[in-house]
């Protein structure tokens, strides 16, 4: 132990004593614990611990997670876990009783169509999202092709997310439901896409980055959506910005309409009987 490890009580003037009895060994053991955390390794189990000490250990974990970039899942891990879960899903026969409300009997509702007939298309969207984990190079046309793909094929509900008059042209409004976080963009220009189609006045899209699912944040200065996890950037139309990761796909679009002064989006359905809180955050 070097000289720096000598406990110099005089240096602790002004630092309040803790009520619980503390021993030098406790501090050293705690430091060894922190060293393991810094190495991103499983710490060794402490020998004994009071309630107060245990809370200090818990607090250390919380503070570790606040370091920039510390608490983001590794890409290889995400892909590995995805493959593991896929295997388990297949072993269960690929189908489950639903988390969602059942379609009404006696008619082929839009929900049942979405849950069934569009499942392949929904799969493209979902696959596109998870496909980003395994890096793929996509052409602009391939990226754009995901726009019109349904976000999730689990059934949809029309939900009011805000008043149209409150969304200034050129600005983005974030909304949140039990199943999705998204943005509504009030388009203030009408540029043509690659195939010559103008953008609509109202655009709604998922806020989940197509790389790892982190929620992108709207920057009103550069008018782009930025992923906080791996610096992916999307334009206000949901397409990957130039210079962003070339394996990104566009943010999936959602159906949107304005009626009776309100902006409605067609969001993935909530669970059976689940409450829905349509809180709207100003973007």
Partner 1 sequence: MRRRNVEQAERAGAEREPDGDAGAGRGTEKPPAAAAEIDAQSFRTLYQENLGVVYRFVYSKVGNREEAEDLTSQVFVKAVRGLDRERGSQSIQSWLYQVARTTIADYWRSFYKVRATSLESMLEQGWEEPAEERVILVSYKPEERVRRILDLLPPHYREVLTCRFLLNLSIKETAERMRLSEANVKVLQFRALKKAAEVE
Identify which of residues 64 and 223 has a Cβ nearer to partner 1 in the complex: 64
Round to whole Å and give the CA distance between 263 and 160: 6
DSSP 277: -
Complex with partner 1: residue 203 or 216, whichever CB lies closer: 216
> Which DSSP category does 241 fall into?
P
Taken in order 271, 146, 213, 87, the sign of the CA dihedral is positive
Cα 2 → chain centroid: 46
| Cα torsion through 238, 239, 242, 246, rounded to 10 | 120
Minimum CB distance to partner 1, residue 97 (Å): 4
For residue 186, what is the enclosing H or E element? strand 181-186
| C-alpha separations of 156 from 38, 98, 124, 130 in Å | 44, 14, 17, 21
Q: Least distance from C-beta 8 to partner 1, angstroms?
A: 5
Nearest approach, Cβ of residue 87 and partner 1 (Å) = 10
C-beta closer to partner 1: residue 42 or 242: 42
Q: For the CB of residue 195, give the shortest distance to partner 1 in the complex, in Å.
A: 27
Report in angstroms how near the CB of residue 240 gets to partner 1 at its nearest: 17
Q: Compare residues 94 and 242 and give the one whose CB is closer to partner 1.
A: 94
Indicate the SS3 state at residue 72. coil
């Amino acid at each position: 132990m070097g000289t720096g490890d000598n406990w110099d009580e005089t240096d602790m003037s002004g630092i309040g004593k803790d009520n619980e009895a503390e021993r030098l060994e406790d501090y050293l053991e705690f430091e060894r614990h922190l060293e393991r955390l810094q190495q991103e390794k499983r710490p060794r189990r402490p020998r004994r611990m009071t309630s107060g000490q245990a809370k200090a250990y818990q607090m250390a974990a919380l503070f570790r997670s606040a370091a920039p970039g510390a608490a983001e899942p590794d890409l290889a891990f995400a892909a590995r876990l995805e493959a593991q879960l896929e295997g388990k899903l297949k072993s269960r026969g690929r189908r489950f009783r639903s988390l969602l409300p059942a379609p009404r009997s006696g008619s082929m509702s839009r929900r049942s169509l979405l849950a069934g007939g569009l499942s392949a298309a929904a799969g493209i969207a979902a696959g596109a999202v998870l496909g980003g984990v395994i890096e793929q190079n996509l052409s602009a046309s391939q990226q754009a092709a995901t726009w019109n793909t349904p976000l999730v094929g689990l059934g949809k509900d029309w939900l009011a997310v805000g008043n149209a008059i409150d969304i200034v042209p050129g600005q983005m409004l974030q909304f949140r439901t039990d199943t999705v976080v998204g943005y509504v963009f009030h388009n203030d220009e009408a540029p043509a896409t690659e195939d010559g189609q103008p953008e609509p006045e109202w655009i709604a899209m998922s806020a989940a980055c197509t790389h790892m699912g982190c929620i992108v944040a709207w920057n009103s200065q550069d008018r782009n959506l930025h992923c906080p996890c791996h610096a992916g950037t999307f334009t206000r139309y949901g397409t990957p910005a130039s210079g962003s990761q070339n394996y990104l796909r566009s943010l999936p679009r959602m159906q949107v309409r304005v009626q009776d002064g309100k902006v409605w989006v067609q969001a993935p359905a909530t669970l059976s009987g689940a409450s829905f809180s349509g809180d709207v955050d100003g973007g």
